[in-house]
Structure 1
Amino acid sequence: MNNNYHKIKIIVMLGLFAAGANAADINAGKAKAAVCQGCHGSAGVSSSPLWPSLAGQGAIYLESQLNKFKSGQRENEVMKPIAAGLSEADMQNLAAYYASLPGKSAGGGSDAALIGQGKEKAGMCLGCHGNNGQGTGMVPKLAGQQPQYLAKQLADFKKGARKAPQMNAMAQSLSDDDIKALAAYLGSL
């Protein structure tokens, strides 16, 4: 075998080793998550309409959001100081931990007609958020979130208080009733 083959083999092996060395540690994430439990629940399932459930959310999305809170790109008076104290490894570990947990539906409430209206309008959401609202990569899981939390996020996108160009544009087309219906449906998944 030629010398270049061995050099390439060594470089690939070092790259694989380095990737493994940077792998997220779910147990470290679990230990770090103690501070998160007050808002996001002991198993990552929030019982409060103010805070999202993190269980089952994609690790890539969670890490991205922690970075946005830390940098100030996403504003939240509670999350900013928490994220400011996290290292890159902490964020990766927390994201891996919450992504490893099973999600649980918050339910959409008892208004079947409202849930049905939301289902009719949900096509605009499911193209990006997955056909069951399960999220994909950088796009968050909406299924099972607290309806009030979802409604607030949609309203914030509509007002421009939360910034994401595609969501800001999409939310502009929603009435307050549309927002309530979508939130009820997505929460029921």
Structure 2
Amino acid sequence: MSFPRVFALAMLFSAGLVHAETHDSIMLGDAKAGEAKTAVCGACHGVDGNSADAMYPKLAGQNESYTVRQLIQFKSGKRMNPIMMPFASTLSEQDMHDVGAFFATKQASPGQTDDAYVERGQELFRAGDSKLGVPACMACHGPSGRGMAGAAYPQLAGQWADYITAKFTEWRSGTTWGDDEHAKIMPDIAKRLSDQDIAALASYVQGLHEVQTAAK
């Protein structure tokens, strides 16, 4: 996919940033029903969606539509993962929505950004790099990294830097998650980034989180 195509897609979705981050999730599932259905997920992802091991992604706060989309990809075999595919194969679409709804009600635990990566990470996330042909990450993932529920773009805020780095490495090697427009965007972007840029972005999004204020 050419940079103009990638950039155009990013700009198209950026028009809905405020709406997407104001309305945290478009939910069709039943979070209460999903709680029982996520019991097996807790072994890797944590009972509340905050995994203890950085090789497994945090699911807490992830928008339902993205979670459902990935489970469908696992079940169909379009996204290959030997751990997830057997679990996804047993789920109905309603199960997927219920699981997604449950994790969407949780809050991702805050991470930290390495000071050495703040400047470059922030530049790439908020402005992109026109010389490299890389659009701003926030165009699709939102200014606070909460993602776009309506467009099924994932929350990145608080995600483990190790996990983000691993996914960028896969995309740069040509791995895709399906054959739709979403799947074609990240591999092309990843190929334009150096190891240092990937490390900076991964560290930066790990440290993104919303400040929580105590209720009065």
Which TM class, normalised by the smaller chain length? 0.7 to 0.9
| 5+ residue gaps, structure 2 | 1-27, 127-135, 178-182, 209-216
- 2:60 pairs with 55, 75, 96, which one? 55
Residue pairs, 1:89-168, within 5 angstroms: 89-108=94-113, 111-123=114-126, 124-137=136-149, 138-163=152-177, 164-168=183-187
| TM-fit CA distance, 1:100 | 1.1
The aligned amino acid for 1:118 is: G
Residue pairs, 1:8-23, within 5 angstroms: 23=28
Spell out, residue by residue over 1:105-129, the C-alpha distance to the aligned partner (whole angstroms, 9 max, x if none). 2323xx3012332112213211111
Distance 1:175 1:78 in 2: 29
| 5+ residue gaps, structure 1 | 1-22
| TM-fit CA distance, 1:186 | 0.5
Superposed CA RMSD in Å reads 1.4
SS in 2 for 1:128: helix
TM (norm. structure 1) is: 0.84
By percentage of residues, which structure has more helix? 1
Identity %: 41
Distance 2:111 2:73 in 1: 26
Spell out, residue by residue over 1:129-164, the C-alpha distance to the aligned partner (whole angstroms, 9 max, x if none). 111111002100111000000111111111112342
> Do the aligned residues in 1 keep the contact of 2:159 with 2:205 (CA within 8 Å)?
yes
- 1:69 pairs with 52, 74, 78, which one? 74
Aligned: 1:171 with 2:190 = yes
> Do the aligned residues in 2 keep the contact of 1:107 with 1:146 (CA within 8 Å)?
no
| TM-fit CA distance, 1:42 | 1.4
| TM-fit CA distance, 1:49 | 1.2
Q: How many residues align?
A: 166
> Do the aligned residues in 2 keep the contact of 1:143 with 1:188 (CA within 8 Å)?
yes
Superposed structure 1 runs of 4+ greater than 4 Å apart: none
TM (norm. structure 2) is: 0.74
Over alpha carbons, which structure has the higher Rg? Answer: 1
Give 1:34's aligned residue.
Answer: 39
